[in-house]
Structure formats: structure tokens, C-alpha cells
């Protein structure tokens, strides 16, 4: 299968999943009613269900997945490490921590941009720290340990904030953000996070040529004319913006960014540049499908999307790590 065919297939599957998400729910909509609601010609209740609840939720899941997939693929290309990913390296946790701070102190309620700006700031800081560590050490194991420590520290601080939550409503918001969800997201929420998501992903795609050059090694890439400092800065900024926007929209969702690039890498010749698009499409498709499952699983309460993503992604991550033939790369 060529890269073009793979991308077209994933794009078609993603569109089909988004349409399926509009069909499915606690009350399935027949095709005729769904089409009528999509074009604003059906029952008012059906129109509200599709346009105010199901469609924005599906689109939110897709754009979050796409941002995390592109970030994971770019970080893996930059660090030349197939285990790199925003969630594993603590970037998502750091973004969730700074977002949680705005919820804890009521800043998100007072200023709509406070939460996305805080999430992006946390993601950028964590990604910059990891990039600096990658420059100073050649050990992949050391880098992963730094990411695990960063994630654990951010998790501990979030636990402290939840412990000190001023009221039950704030606590509920903070816990929901930590577990990850796209429930009750609107087009307004998507529009608020879109500048960060779109800007970050666009910046990552602009680094494609440099990511391909880095497969030769940093010295060879620099000899070929690549500005290494500029490349690192672009990937760090792009991954930070995209991850921060994703966390601002859906909370902390891990493992998606490591699994998607790994599944498509062999089909594009192990070229980091060619991995970006299919990885983002596959990650978006995965989150839309996972969110459909979240809504259809019977139970008194709805499972969180981040929980389902971790239940699927964590075993796959362990499998990827076990299959690596070299310890420090």
C-alpha cells in the first residue's frame, strides 16, 4: 500500500467514523433523520442532538487525536526514539497540571483563554526541557526516565491540587480534566483551542524536511545544511502548541501519540516526514472510535475517553518497548 493510498484510506475511515458518531448514541438516529438534521430540515430535537452534541464531540475527538498523533511522530523523529510521545514523556501531564491550576483558582471561569494558554505554556515548558535533555544525553533510557519523572511530578502536584480543591464542583472539573473527555464539547470550545491545535500541527508539518534529514544523524544533517537549533525549536514549539491545545480541549489523553506513528511507520518506509499525516489521521480515527465506544458501553456513568485510550494504548506501548532490540538506541 502506497503512502497516498494509506492517507486516503485513513481519511475516508475518519470521515466514516465521524458520521457514525452522529448516528450512534443512547438513542440511535436512523439515516433519514440524521440527514435531515444535518441539513437543518428535520425535527428540532434531532438537529440539537446532531449539531450541539454529537458532531462537535466527534470533531473534538478527531482533532485532539490528530494533534497528539502528529506530535508523537514529530518527537519520535526529532529524538530518533520510537518511544517518544507527549503522554509518555510527561508533556501531556505538564499541560494538564497548568490547566488544572486555572481550574483550581477559578481563572478558567473568569477568563476564557486562561485554560488553553496555561495548557500550552505547560506543554511548551515540558517539551523544551526534554529537548534540552536530548541534546545533553545520548541515552534514550535516560530521556524516558526524565519523562517518567516529569509525568510523576506533574501527577503528584495535580493530586495535591485536587486534595486542596475549594469545593466539590471545582474538584469534579479537575478530575474530569485529569481523566480526559470530549463530552459536552461545543463548536465554541473547539474554536477556542483551534488556534493552538492548528498552529502547532502546521509548524510540525513545516519541519518535515528536517525530520527526514535527521534520520542520517545530527552531524550528517547539519552537513547537509540543516539548522539543528532551528529544527529543535520548531518541533518543540509545534509539539507544545498542539499538545497544549489538545489538553485544553479534552484533558490528559496518553499513549495515542506513540501507538499511531508506530503502526504506520513501516508502511511509509520509516520516513518521519511521511509518518506525520497518516499518524495524525490514525490517531484521530482511534479517538473517534474510542469515544463511540465510551458512549455505547452500558453502565450508570460514562467512562472517560482518556481511561479507554490508556486501556488500549498502554499494552501496545509495552509491546513496542519489548520489541526494541537496543536498550539505549
Q: Is residue 328 part of a domain?
A: no
Question: What is the span of the domain harbouring residue 29?
Answer: 3-323
Q: How many domains does the chain have?
A: 1
Task: Report H helices in 164-227.
Answer: 168-179, 187-206, 208-214, 218-223
Whole-structure pTM value: 0.91
Give the CATH number for residue 99.
Answer: 1.10.3470.10
Pair 38, 265: CB distance under 8 Å: no
Between the CA atoms of 146, 149, 151 and 156, what dihedral angle is there, to the nearest 10 degrees? Answer: -160
Confirm if 99 and 106 have CB atoms less than 8 A apart.
no
Q: Is residue 329 part of a domain?
A: no
293, part of any domain? yes
pLDDT tens string, the chain, 329 residues long: the values are 688 999 999 999 999 999 999 998 877 888 899 889 888 787 888 899 999 999 999 999 999 999 999 999 999 998 888 878 888 788 999 999 999 999 999 998 888 889 999 999 999 899 888 878 877 776 667 777 888 899 999 999 999 999 999 999 899 889 888 889 999 999 999 999 999 999 999 999 999 999 999 888 888 998 988 988 888 888 888 999 999 999 999 998 988 999 999 999 989 988 999 999 999 999 999 999 999 999 988 877 788 999 999 898 888 878 877 876 544 44
| C-alpha distance across the termini of the chain, in Å | 29
Rounded CA gap, 304 and 178, in Å?
10
Is residue 166 assigned to a domain? Answer: yes
Of residues 131, 139, 160, 87, the one with CA closest to residue 314: 87
Amino acid at each position: 500500500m502506497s503512502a497516498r493510498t494509506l492517507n486516503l484510506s485513513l481519511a475516508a475511515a475518519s470521515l466514516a467514523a465521524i458520521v457514525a458518531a452522529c448516528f450512534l448514541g443512547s438513542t440511535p438516529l436512523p439515516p433519514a433523520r440524521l440527514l435531515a438534521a444535518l441539513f437543518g430540515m428535520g425535527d428540532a430535537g434531532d438537529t440539537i442532538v446532531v449539531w450541539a452534541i454529537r458532531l462537535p464531540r466527534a470533531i473534538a475527538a478527531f482533532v485532539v487525536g490528530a494533534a497528539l498523533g502528529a506530535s508523537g511522530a514529530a518527537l519520535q523523529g526529532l529524538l530518533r526514539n520510537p518511544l517518544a510521545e507527549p503522554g509518555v514523556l510527561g508533556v501531556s501531564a505538564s499541560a494538564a497540571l497548568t490547566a488544572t491550576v486555572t481550574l483550581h483558582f477559578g481563572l478558567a471561569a473568569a477568563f476564557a483563554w486562561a485554560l488553553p494558554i496555561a495548557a500550552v505554556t505547560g506543554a511548551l515548558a515540558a517539551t523544551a526541557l526534554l529537548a534540552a535533555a536530548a541534546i545533553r544525553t545520548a541515552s534514550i533510557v535516560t530521556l524516558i526516565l526524565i519523562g517518567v519523572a516529569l509525568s510523576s511530578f506533574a501527577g503528584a502536584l495535580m493530586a495535591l491540587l485536587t486534595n486542596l480543591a475549594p469545593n466539590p464542583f471545582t474538584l469534579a472539573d479537575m478530575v474530569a480534566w485529569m481523566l480526559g473527555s470530549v463530552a459536552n464539547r461545543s463548536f465554541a470550545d473547539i474554536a477556542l483551542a483551534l488556534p493552538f491545535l492548528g498552529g502547532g500541527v502546521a509548524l510540525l508539518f513545516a519541519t518535515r524536511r528536517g525530520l527526514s534529514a535527521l534520520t542520517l544523524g545530527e552531524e550528517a544533517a547539519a552537513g547537509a545544511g540543516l539548522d539543528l537549533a532551528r529544527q529543535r525549536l520548531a518541533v518543540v514549539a509545534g509539539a507544545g502548541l498542539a499538545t497544549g491545545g489538545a489538553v485544553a480541549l479534552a484533558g490528559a489523553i496518553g499513549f495515542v501519540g506513540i501507538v499511531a506513528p508506530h503502526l504506520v511507520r513501516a508502511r511509509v518506509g520509516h520516513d518521519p516526514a511521511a509518518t506525520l499525516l497518516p499518524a495524525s489521521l490514525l490517531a484521530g480515527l482511534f479517538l473517534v472510535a474510542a469515544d463511540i465506544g465510551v458512549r455505547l458501553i452500558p453502565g450508570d456513568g460514562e467512562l472517560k475517553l482518556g481511561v479507554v485510550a490508556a486501556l488500549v494504548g498502554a499494552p501496545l506501548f509495552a509491546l513496542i518497548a519489548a520489541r526494541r532490540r537496543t536498550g539505549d538506541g
